[in-house]
Amino acid sequence: MRKYSIQCLVFFSLVSFNIKSGHAQVTEKEYTNIEEALKEPDKVLRLNLENQKNHDYFKVLPKFKNLEYLNLRNTDLDVVPEEILILKHLRTLDMGHNNFSLLPKNFSSLKNLQELYLDEDKNFNLFEGFEILSQLKHLKVLHLENDGIKELPGNIGKLSHLEKLYLSENDLKTIPIEIKGLKNLNYLDVYHNPIIAPLNIIKTYQGGFKIRF
């Protein structure tokens, strides 16, 4: 009986139960300490280094070869660390609230990336960035909130794989016609922008498309 109780305790530390859906959901552990994560790097799927200004950890990032989620928010990044490009299983990358302006040209090597946070990156070069991001065919969600954006470059239409685009808290007055190239887009957030005619955007899409303005 005692052995059974221990097994149950371990099980519930790894699995949460969703009462509404009636299904068990596995919640992966999120590491916030590099030293702890390095004890078993192959088992680390989520690594949160938000607000950490010491960049010495960059050199050990390749050790987390199975990493799926990486948070580098507010870490004073002037350049995107090349080490993250080795993380081939990365699905979500948060690099918001940093200082870099360009993505590495080989950023497209993150072929499994699905969600990217570039919000509050005031120096980010959108045109150059869109050219590189257009090569990430699995990228579905892009965050560009509060980036001080006054105008979107026309090459945004190359991001045809996007399903959700977040542009709230910027200075946009218009949305370029090239956004029609985003054939898979089903959600657009342009809340808190001085957009003159947001209804013209809606006419571009049909079905379950949603817009927040």
- Domain span at 121: 29-212
Name the residue with higher pLDDT: 144 or 5.
144
Position 13 scores a pLDDT of 34
Position 6 scores a pLDDT of 29
The CATH number assigned to the domain holding 49 equals 3.80.10.10
Mean of the pLDDT values across residues 150-169?
A: 97
Number of domains in the chain: 1
* 169: in domain: yes
- Which residues make beta-bridge pairs with 88? none
* 7: in domain: no
Mean of the pLDDT values across residues 1-16?
A: 34
pLDDT in tens, 88-133: 999 999 999 999 999 999 999 999 999 999 999 999 999 999 999 9
Position 19 scores a pLDDT of 41
Are the beta carbons of 205 and 181 closer than 8 angstroms?
Answer: no
* 125: in domain: yes
Position 209 scores a pLDDT of 84
* 5: in domain: no
Alpha-carbon gap, residue 157 to 154, rounded angstroms: 6
Alpha-carbon gap, residue 118 to 125, rounded angstroms: 11
Name the residue with higher pLDDT: 202 or 75.
75
